[in-house]
């Protein structure tokens, strides 16, 4: 799932962004999805860097 352009690390939702009404999806769901994608990309970038050394 490597993308050509590095993703920017997502920032957590601001205080008060979550209404705590069990919305589906919640702003936290979007944050955790983006964070997972960013972490996976970081692993791919690290592997690529190690292979090019």
Residue ranges of domains in the chain: 23-53
Give yes or no for a contact between 26 and 18, defined as CB atoms under 8 angstroms apart.
Answer: yes
Strand spans (E) along the chain:
none
Q: What is the H or E stretch that residue 4 is in?
A: none
Q: For the CA atoms of 45, 51, 52, 53, what is the dihedral angle to 10 degrees?
A: 110
Residue-wise pLDDT tens digits, 1-53: 445 688 899 999 999 999 999 999 999 999 999 999 999 999 999 999 998 86
**pTM of the entire structure?**
0.80
According to the model, what pLDDT value does residue 53 have? 60
Distance (Å) of CA 4 to CA 14, 17, 20, 23, 45: 29, 31, 36, 33, 10
């Amino acid at each position: 799932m490597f993308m050509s352009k590095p993703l920017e690390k997502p920032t957590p939702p601001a205080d008060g962004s979550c209404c705590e009404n069990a919305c589906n999806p919640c702003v936290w769901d979007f944050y955790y999805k983006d964070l997972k994608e960013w972490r996976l990309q970081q692993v791919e970038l690290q592997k690529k860097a190690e292979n090019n050394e």
